[in-house]
């Protein structure tokens, strides 16, 4: 069917709307996952003719609302996965309705202007000076990529090379330093940028070892330091202020990976964890985690945002505006060119809930993490493995009488059983050599009831596995 002859638009959109209410209402009680057997019905041969929007969207909704992982609900504690606020959800529908290309002002003055507002509200939310700027990207991986791309451009310029034009060939290896908390996605960014993921030299097994880093920087020449604000196993932080002071004594670029940890800035209870952030040269953060906007959403901030155009502009194509042209825009300030207007859900959720709404949500999550930690501490068959500075609780199952040598295996099987059971989701990790669970609480829907259910399901499954 030629889309020109498809009269199913209204039916299809109404079907999404009609499905949304019951689906969203079901999230509070349904399991996170109960199988995807129906998804097979979406396969088969590519239709030769096609059946039009109305029937196709009915089918997609029927399969999707049953087969999806209901990670938008309150009990998906795996990874660090946020949900979607009401304002962000409706604004994300609007993104597709308007189908803007947020590449440049020439393509969409509207999307470019909203992105400028969204970025300035985000920097204000995190307490950064208004001189910080950046670009919205698809994820914290891309935010790390964008920031480390700008860092690479800075570093090469210290060697007299414009790396955007000439590439890395002929340059020495770029020295990159971090502590033990460096995230796999920062390594992936370095791998994509041509430095290799093994280019990171790690100082310290957990938090960065400042004196060892100081010695390394003294002899490395210009270098890049990656600080970690919010480590994924237990939520710990590198000492940002001390690190910033140290880096300022050397010829080095300080990048902060704060994919979710940046939100510590929103509460006076945790703001000390990100003290010193404003001295960073670049910062990476996620929107689809603690901001609770839909995938794909991240942001990179730079202390000197003009550096992005030098690293990511595409000069020389006669039909394109330049990075600093009045018709230019964010497509020339980051890795993507054509891009969706991912600023709209960010703008809408910040406009709808404001600074105080986000502070309240973050503080509720801090309280829930402490509640979860207390439930773990009170249970004779559970053992907490780390402090809980933020929103992650790292613990393991440890029933009395089970020898240490069997605990890793037991905890691994509990992790698998949780995913098969589906009532609550969490993943395992290895923390200080021990297999552990690490539920993370960043979804606006999560309540005390969900945290209590999580602990009782873990204990029930662990008891059944022994
Ligand atoms: C999640 C995370 C990332 C990567 O984020 P994506 O959105 O999955 O690309 C990077 N760093 C840290 C610390 C994270 O928690």
Q: What is the DSSP string of 90-110?
A: HHHHHHHHHT--TT-TTT-HH
- pLDDT the model gives residue 414: 98
Q: Which atom of ligand 1 is nearest to the CA of 288?
A: 7
Q: DSSP character for 429? A: E
- pLDDT the model gives residue 319: 85
Distance CA 57, CA 191 (A): 39
Cα four-point dihedral sign 342, 120, 288, 352: negative
Give pLDDT tens digits for 255-288: 999 999 999 999 999 999 999 999 999 999 999 9
Closest to 328 in 3D by CA, of 174, 108, 127, 171: 108
Ligand 1 pocket list (CB less than 6 A) = 80, 139-141, 183, 185, 230, 232, 257, 259-260, 286, 298
Closest residue by CA, ligand 1 atom 3: 140
**CB-side exposure of 369: number of CA atoms within 13 Å?**
25
Distance from the alpha carbon of residue 184 to the mean position of ligand 1, in angstroms = 8
CATH architecture classification, 354-465:
Alpha-Beta Complex (3.90)
Residue to substitute in 77, 140, 232, 264 for testing ligand 1 pocket (most ligand atoms within 8 angstroms of CB): 140
Distance from the alpha carbon of residue 139 to the mean position of ligand 1, in angstroms = 7
Element spanning 276, H or E = none
- pLDDT the model gives residue 101: 98
- pLDDT the model gives residue 322: 79
Rounded to a whole number of angstroms, the distance between the first and last alpha carbons of the chain is 57
- pLDDT the model gives residue 298: 98
Q: What is the CATH number of domain 91-350?
A: 3.40.640.10
- pLDDT the model gives residue 337: 96
**Strands ordered across the beta sheet of 434-437:** 382-384, 395-397, 434-437, 428-431
Residues of the chain with pLDDT under 70: none
Distance from the alpha carbon of residue 226 to the mean position of ligand 1, in angstroms = 14
Closest residue by CA, ligand 1 atom 14: 259
**Strands ordered across the beta sheet of 200-202:** 133-137, 298-302, 282-286, 252-257, 223-228, 176-178, 200-202
Distance from the alpha carbon of residue 141 to the mean position of ligand 1, in angstroms = 6
pTM, whole model, 2 decimals? 0.98
- pLDDT the model gives residue 411: 98
- pLDDT the model gives residue 326: 87
Angle at which helix 9-26 crosses helix 53-67, to 10 degrees, equals 10
- Tokens found for residue 465: 């596995």
Those residues whose C-beta lies under 8 Å from the C-beta of residue 176, and which sit 6 or more positions away, are 190, 195, 199, 200, 201, 223, 224, 225, 226
- pLDDT the model gives residue 248: 98
- pLDDT the model gives residue 323: 74
Closest residue by CA, ligand 1 atom 9: 141
């Amino acid at each position: 069917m030629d889309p020109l002859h498809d009269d199913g638009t209204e039916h299809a959109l109404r079907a999404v709307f009609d499905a949304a209410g019951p689906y969203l209402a079901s999230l509070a009680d349904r399991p996170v996952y109960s199988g995807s057997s129906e998804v097979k019905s979406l396969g088969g041969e590519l239709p030769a003719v096609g059946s039009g929007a109305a029937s196709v969207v009915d089918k997609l909704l029927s399969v999707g609302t049953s087969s999806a992982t209901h990670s938008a609900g309150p009990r998906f504690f795996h990874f660090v996965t946020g949900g979607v606020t009401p304002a962000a959800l409706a604004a994300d529908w609007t993104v597709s309705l308007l189908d803007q290309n947020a590449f440049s002002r020439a393509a969409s003055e509207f999307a470019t202007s909203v992105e400028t507002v969204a970025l300035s509200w985000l920097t204000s939310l995190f307490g950064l000076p208004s001189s910080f700027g950046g670009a919205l990207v698809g994820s914290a991986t891309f935010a790390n990529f964008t920031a480390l791309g700008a860092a690479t451009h800075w570093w090469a310029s210290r060697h007299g090379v414009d790396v955007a034009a000439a590439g890395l060939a002929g340059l020495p290896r770029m020295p990159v330093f971090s502590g033990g908390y460096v995230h796999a996605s920062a390594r992936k960014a370095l791998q994509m940028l041509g430095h290799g993921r093994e280019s990171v030299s790690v100082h310290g097994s957990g938090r960065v070892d400042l004196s060892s880093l100081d010695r390394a920087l003294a002899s490395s020449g210009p270098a890049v330091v990656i600080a970690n604000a919010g480590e994924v196993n237990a939520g710990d932080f590198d000492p940002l202020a001390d690190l910033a002071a140290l880096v300022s004594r050397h010829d080095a670029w300080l990048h902060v990976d704060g994919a979710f940890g940046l939100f510590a800035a929103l509460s006076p209870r945790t703001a000390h964890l990100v003290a010193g952030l404003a001295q960073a040269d670049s910062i990476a953060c996620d929107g689809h985690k603690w901001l609770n906007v839909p995938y794909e959403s991240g942001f990179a901030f730079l202390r000197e945002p003009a550096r992005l155009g030098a690293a990511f502009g595409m000069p020389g194509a006669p039909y394109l505006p330049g990075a600093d042209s009045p018709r230019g825009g964010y497509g020339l300030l980051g890795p993507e060119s054509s891009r969706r207007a991912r600023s709209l859900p960010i703008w809408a959720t910040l406009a709808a809930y404001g600074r105080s709404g986000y502070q309240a949500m973050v503080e509720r999550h801090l309280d829930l993490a402490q509640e979860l930690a207390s439930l773990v501490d009170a249970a004779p068959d559970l053992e907490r493995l780390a402090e809980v500075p933020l929103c992650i609780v790292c613990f393991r199952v440890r029933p009395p009488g089970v020898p240490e040598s069997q605990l890793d295996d037991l905890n691994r099987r509990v992790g698998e059983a949780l995913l098969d059971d589906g009532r609550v989701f969490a993943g395992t990790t290895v923390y200080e050599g021990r297999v552990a669970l690490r539920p993370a609480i960043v979804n606006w829907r999560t309540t005390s009831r969900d945290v209590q259910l999580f602990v009782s399901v873990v204990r029930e499954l662990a008891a059944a596995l022994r």
